[in-house]
Amino acid sequence: ARIESQVQDYSAVFLKREAEDGELGERQRMLLKVRHKPLSIYVYFYAPADRRGEEAIYVEGRNGGNLLGHTTGITGALLGTLSLAPDGVIAMDGQHRPLTEIGILNLCRRLTQVAQKGVQNPQCRVEISRDKKVDGRDCRCIQVTNPDDREQFRFSHVRWYIDEQLDLPVRFEAYDWPAE
């Protein structure tokens, strides 16, 4: 609620690395600009090198619900800017979630849902530590370790780091179930 009422927009460098079929993918580094009302998102890829210069922009209620995106190189020159469904095959290439779900507010909403599910299960273990740093900033880390219930829980454990001064999440980690 505080983020919804006090944070109207922000820019950030967004770092992401996801696993696909058990293999850790390339690191992605993006410039991210978000406005909450109406939901507006701009993304510019810095890395990996083969995606550098790709851009996407989405504004809720515009462009028929689609995002506008373009790639670089010969493909970008041939196709130009495309109107794409945020959850369509092309827009989702290399992503687990659509662009419309990116950002601090959406992350907090998802984490709240995960936390509520965990609180209902007495086997979930929650640990809070206040001696962590992210990019030199003091943070508290909330780690939830889930019981081995793969039907109910998507991840083995999750960590989120809350900047002590900003009182905002600045890092999120989610770990899949170990093979053994």
Q: What is the pLDDT along the chain (180 residues), one digit of tens a residue?
A: 888 888 899 999 999 888 777 788 889 999 999 999 999 999 999 999 988 999 999 999 999 999 999 888 777 667 889 999 999 998 888 788 899 998 889 888 887 877 777 667 778 888 999 999 999 999 999 998 887 777 777 788 889 899 999 888 899 998 888 777
How high is the pLDDT of residue 76? 65
Asked if 6 and 37 count as a contact pair (C-beta separation under 8 A), the reply is: no
**Tens digits of per-residue pLDDT, 124-146?**
888 999 999 999 999 999 998 88
Distance CA 99, CA 122 (A): 34
Strand-pair partners of 14:
30
The dihedral region occupied by 76, where left means phi > 0, alpha psi between -120 and 50, and beta the remainder, is alpha
Distance CA 66, CA 64 (A): 5
How high is the pLDDT of residue 118? 67
Contacts for 158 with CB less than 8 Å, ≥ 6 apart: 111, 114, 143, 144, 172, 173, 174, 175
How high is the pLDDT of residue 83? 93
How high is the pLDDT of residue 79? 81
Contacts for 152 with CB less than 8 Å, ≥ 6 apart: 117, 121, 146
Which DSSP string corresponds to 71-106? --HHHHHHH-SEEE-TTSTTTTTT-SS-GGG-SHHH
**Tens digits of per-residue pLDDT, 76-93?**
667 889 999 999 998 888
